Structure 1
Amino acid sequence: MTTPATIGGKIFLIFYGLIGCAGTILFFNLFLERLITVIAYVMKSCHERQLRRKGVLPHNGRRGSGSSEVDSLAGWKPSVYYVMLILCVASLIISCCASAMYTPIEGWSYFDSLYFCFVAFSTIGFGDLVSSQNIRYESQGLYRFGNFVFILMGVCCIYSLFNVISIVIKQSINWILKKFACKCCHRCQRRLFRSRRNVVMPGNVRSRRNISIETDVVNESDTDGRRLSGEMISMKDFLASNKVSLAIMQKQLSETANGYPRQMSSNLKQNGFSGGVGALAIMNNRLAETSVDR
């Protein structure tokens, strides 16, 4: 197996590996993207063929331009499970064909050849089994070319399969988090609201959150456009939670407009509503009462 032996060769390998591995990952991602595009094109073509057989679409339909063709495929993205099934079948077929080549040439058993294919295609590379290490082979050039083609195709399929499996795992974790959401979130939310001082609280607060490993931002659709922190509330919630305050404010305004008797000011002070007329005065009184009570 070829490895760098000098310090210069090892330094070159480090910088070359950075660019080479990045380019290889880009190549694999483009391979997966083109595969999804081909699957979408096949699905759309099959659907249009069925419509033509039923007489819904004309048989001499013209193909659009490149950009319109890509836009027309936007609604035909295949399911992630469908792509995973196709990649599994492709990886299995490539591994079986490559094992059929390795078994007679390298002298391995068929199971060892399958094991080598998975280790090599997944870029694990334990090194216990390495192909093309003998001194001489029959049709050595053809064998090395076939080895290169099988490894390239196998790595593309396995790497794409790993990407799709990671998406499935992420979706599964999100589903589990939604099913087994923390039941104490509602209690924790109430404690958070109670710990805040001088904050106007909404009447009905929905504490169910859309928990996801992708983001920890609360889904606005689950809270009807309102934030759970209490910073933004609707006018309906404000009126529902401050009915008493609004009633007292209306009473004060009405009595002041009609000529409020001065002899009742002492009783008003005892009731704790002195200090002016209007919403600002009532809010100041409420804040003062809250600070005194606490």
Structure 2
Amino acid sequence: MTTPRTIGGKVVLIFYGFFGCAGAILFFNLFLERIITFLAYILRAIHIRDMKRKGLISETKNNKGRRPSQTSDDDQLDAWKPSVYWVMLILLLGASIVALCASAVYQPVEEWTYFEAIYFCFVTFATIGFGDYVVSQRESYANVDLYRFANFIFIVIGCCCIYSLFNVTSIVIKQVLNWMLRKLNCRCRVQRPNPGRRNAITPGHLTKGGKAPTVTVTDVDGDSDSEYRRNSGEMISMKDFLQANKISLAMMQKELYETAQRGHSHKREGGLQGGVGPMAILNRKLGQEDHFDSGV
């Protein structure tokens, strides 16, 4: 195993590793975007074929070469995105195939067991790199150049597949965490028993001194004794309360509307947000249906 021994070599490694790791992350992100785009194209073609088979999309065209319902069909297809679970399954199968093929090569050449070869593939492809199993450490190999080239290809493809699989799996983990948070939030909400509807709004200065008397409120339109009641400190009618708090009620209504809009936005995004890097790529390319809401 080649490692730097001098101070100059270690300094060079720091700078080279900094830009090299940044370039590797860029390469992995580009691979992630390309493979997700490719899988989305394939799954979209399968989805369109399935919809045509079920008769949901018309295949007949008019004289202008356009389908009668082309606008609605195009809008429906543009809004459709492949499920993150299908993409995760395909990436899992791809990474497994690469690992199995690489293990079939490593087992006879390195004289490992097949499980040791599988273990080496996972540790290497996931960039964990314990170093307990390392290839190309023997003194001589048959066809060493071909073996090292195949090793390079296996590691690059395996790392790309595992990196993409990890990022897609993080979406599923995010959905599980959001589902757990929603369940915990529902459990923390305690419904207090309703003692009964009160028909009076008591002024604040009466609640400090003691228990406020319960007085029946007058009709909203009947304001003949509202001034008397307000001056006597007994109660304030609903009509006077609303007139005195028009600005506060308008602000409250605006805040409630904005809160509802933010709630809908968080529900669409899935709770935990990911707008930078691979999470942004996955959020843009994949449909993240939260099936945990339906008990799956």
> TM-score scaled to structure 1, two decimals?
0.59
2:156 to 152, 158, 161: 152
Q: Residue 74 of structure 1: CA displacement?
A: 4.8
Q: Distance in 1 between matches of 2:77 and 2:3?
A: 46
Please say if residues 132 and 144 of structure 1, whose CA atoms lie closer than 8 Å, have aligned partners that are also in contact: yes
Distance verdict in 2 for CA 1:186–1:49, change over 3 Å = closer
Q: Residue 247 of structure 1: CA displacement?
A: 4.9
2:59 to 57, 60, 80: 57
Q: Residue 126 of structure 1: CA displacement?
A: 0.9
Q: Distance in 2 between matches of 1:247 and 1:73?
A: 53
Match of 1:78 in 2: 82
1:15-57 C-alpha deviation (Å, 9 max, x unpaired) = 2222221221222122222222112211232344563897932
Match of 1:101 in 2: 105
For residues 149-188 of structure 1, what are the structure 2 equivalents within 5 Å? Answer: 149-181=153-185, 183-186=187-190
Match of 1:272 in 2: 233
The amino acid across from 1:57 in the alignment is E
Q: Residue 182 of structure 1: CA displacement?
A: 5.2
Q: Distance in 2 between matches of 1:92 and 1:152?
A: 14
Please say if residues 44 and 82 of structure 2, whose CA atoms lie closer than 8 Å, have aligned partners that are also in contact: no
Match of 2:11 in 1: 11
Q: Distance in 1 between matches of 2:5 and 2:15?
A: 16
Secondary structure of the residue that 2:161 maps to in structure 1?
helix
Q: Residue 135 of structure 1: CA displacement?
A: 2.4
Match of 2:212 in 1: none
Distance verdict in 2 for CA 1:14–1:2, change over 3 Å = same
Q: Distance in 1 between matches of 2:46 and 2:25?
A: 32
1:205-227 C-alpha deviation (Å, 9 max, x unpaired) = xxxxxxxxxxxxxxxxxxxxxxx
Count of matched residue pairs: 208
Distance verdict in 2 for CA 1:73–1:99, change over 3 Å = farther
For residues 1-294 of structure 1, what are the structure 2 equivalents within 5 Å? Answer: 1-49=1-49, 51=52, 56-57=58-59, 74-181=78-185, 183-186=187-190, 244=217, 247=220, 250-251=223-224, 271-272=232-233
Secondary structure of the residue that 2:224 maps to in structure 1?
helix
Please say if residues 99 and 118 of structure 2, whose CA atoms lie closer than 8 Å, have aligned partners that are also in contact: yes
Secondary structure of the residue that 1:181 maps to in structure 2?
helix
1:71-125 C-alpha deviation (Å, 9 max, x unpaired) = 9975342211111111111111111100111111111111111111111111111
Percent of residue pairs bearing the same amino acid type: 54
Secondary structure of the residue that 1:250 maps to in structure 2?
coil
Unaligned runs of 5+ in 2: 67-74, 193-202, 205-215, 246-296
Q: Distance in 2 between matches of 1:74 and 1:248?
A: 54
Larger radius of gyration: 1
Distance verdict in 2 for CA 1:127–1:248, change over 3 Å = same
Unaligned runs of 5+ in 1: 63-70, 189-196, 199-242, 256-264, 285-294
The amino acid across from 1:111 in the alignment is F
Q: Distance in 1 between matches of 2:47 and 2:188?
A: 49
Q: Distance in 2 between matches of 1:44 and 1:82?
A: 12
Please say if residues 44 and 81 of structure 2, whose CA atoms lie closer than 8 Å, have aligned partners that are also in contact: no
The amino acid across from 1:9 in the alignment is G
1:208-253 C-alpha deviation (Å, 9 max, x unpaired) = xxxxxxxxxxxxxxxxxxxxxxxxxxxxxxxxxxx94995993367
What is the alpha-carbon root mean square deviation over aligned residues? Answer: 3.9
